[in-house]
Amino acid sequence: MQKTKKSVAKRFKLTSKGKLVRRTPGFRHLLASKGTKQKRRATKDKLVPAGHAAPLIRCLPFGL
């Protein structure tokens, strides 16, 4: 039986078209020293490039 890699499931989500989405790192603490532009851009999710996404999608056999 294939099992879902829980570490991948917690960090990535699949879109309806099968692409992987990740959160922007560095947005949990020390926010006072970061600029408004950097903080605004960090709120948006990022797509994982196709080359990096292929092995991660194999870790999510049932999607999420």
Domains in the chain: boundaries: 1-24+36-64
pLDDT for residue 63: 82
pLDDT for residue 40: 95
Residues 6+ apart with CB under 8 A from 44: 24
**For the domain bounded by 1-24+36-64, which CATH number is listed?**
4.10.410.60
pLDDT digits (tens, 9 = 90+) for 7-16: 999 999 999 9
Distance CA 61, CA 43 (A): 28
pLDDT for residue 15: 92
pLDDT digits (tens, 9 = 90+) for 8-48: 999 999 999 999 999 999 999 999 999 999 999 999 999 99
Asked if 22 and 52 count as a contact pair (C-beta separation under 8 A), the reply is no
1: pLDDT strictly greater than 90: no
**CA-closest candidate to residue 2, choices 54, 56, 58:** 58
